[in-house]
Amino acid sequence: MRTLLQNVATQHHYESKTLTVTDSKFILYGAEASPRPPLSMVEQLRTAARRKLHGYRDVTHFRHGDLSHLDYRNYDGQDTINLGDVAIYQSAAALIQRALPEADTLPINWEELSQHPVTDAKRQKTSLVFNGSGYFHVAADGRLADRIKDDLEFIRHHAIPAFFFGVGLNRPGQTDLDAPVRLHPEDAALVSQLLDYAQATAVRDMATQSALAALTSKPVHLIGDPALHFVHATGTQTAPSAVAGLSTPSTNIPTANTPPVIGVNFSFHGKNSNALLQKNLESYCAVLLRLQKETGAEFRYFVHYATENILPRLLAQRGVNIKNVPEGTHRAGAGDTATLAREYAKLDLHIGGMLHSCILATSAGTPCIALAYDIKHQGFFDLMGLPENCLSAADFNPEALYSRAMDLLANPAPVRAHIAARRDQLESETLSFLSNQLMMISS
DSSP 167-234: E-EE-TT---TTS-----HHHHHHHHHHHHHSSEEEESSHHHHHHHHTT-SS-EEE---GGGGHHHHH
Distance, in Å, from the CA atom of 360 to the CA atom of 227, rounded to the nearest integer, reads: 7
**Residue 238 pLDDT:** 78
**Residue 173 pLDDT:** 78
- Looking at domain 238-423, its CATH superfamily turns out to be Glycogen Phosphorylase B; (3.40.50.2000)
Give 174-213 pLDDT, tens digit per residue.
777 677 788 999 999 999 999 999 999 999 999 999 999 9
**CA 302 vs CA 319, 354, 363, 375, 434: distances in Å:** 18, 10, 15, 22, 30
**Residue 420 pLDDT:** 97
27 forms bridges with which residues in the sheet?
106, 128
**Residue 18 pLDDT:** 40
Give 373-386 pLDDT, tens digit per residue.
999 999 999 999 99
Task: Report the Cα–Cα distance between both ends of the chain, in Å, rounded.
Answer: 39
**Residue 103 pLDDT:** 82
For the chain, the structural domain boundaries read: 16-36+81-231+427-442, 238-423
**Residue 121 pLDDT:** 62
Q: Domain 16-36+81-231+427-442, what fold?
A: Rossmann fold (3.40.50)
Report pTM: 0.89
Residues of the chain with pLDDT under 70: 1-23, 121, 177, 239-255, 326-335, 442-443
**Residue 20 pLDDT:** 40
Distance, in Å, from the CA atom of 18 to the CA atom of 12, rounded to the nearest integer, reads: 10
